Amino acid sequence: EIVLTQSPATLSLSPGERATLSCRASQSVSSYLAWYQQKPGQAPRLLIYDASNRATGIPARFSGSGSGTDFTLTISSLEPEDFAVYYCQQRSNWPPRGTFGQGTKLEIK
């Protein structure tokens, strides 16, 4: 099975700073990678799909890049509401699988 490794485990930044989160796959997932944001007590929210496409309603400060095995989620200028846990997920077409990374906690410095 494909393993996704996210780094760092915890990222401490201040509002207004730029955040860069990494997700590395154990083998190529092409561009079949999504990013989600989860806040305490809530279900995750889709941010990015197919590695670089923002989902409907997601602010432009969120961007995704990468293909193959290395992916990045960038938040250009952190807002207070962006502090949360972020997960990447690979979605292989067949057989359909949806492995998640272990998450990166973005906390206020």
Partner 1 sequence: QVQLVQSGAEVKKPGASVKVSCKASGYTFTSYGISWVRQAPGQGLEWMGWISAYNGNTNYAQKLQGRVTMTTDTSTSTAYMELRSLRSDDTAVYYCAREAPLYGDAIDYWGQGTLVTVSS
Catalog residues that contact partner 1 under the rule CB under 8 A.
1, 31-32, 34, 36, 38, 43-44, 46, 49-50, 53, 55, 85, 87, 89, 91, 93, 95-103
Minimum CB–partner distance for residue 47 and partner 1 (Å): 10
Residue pair 88/3 in contact (Cβ under 8 Å)? The answer is no
Minimum CB–partner distance for residue 40 and partner 1 (Å): 10
Minimum CB–partner distance for residue 46 and partner 1 (Å): 5
Phi, psi torsion values for 20, nearest 5 degrees: -125, 115
Tally: H helices and E strands in the chain: 0, 10
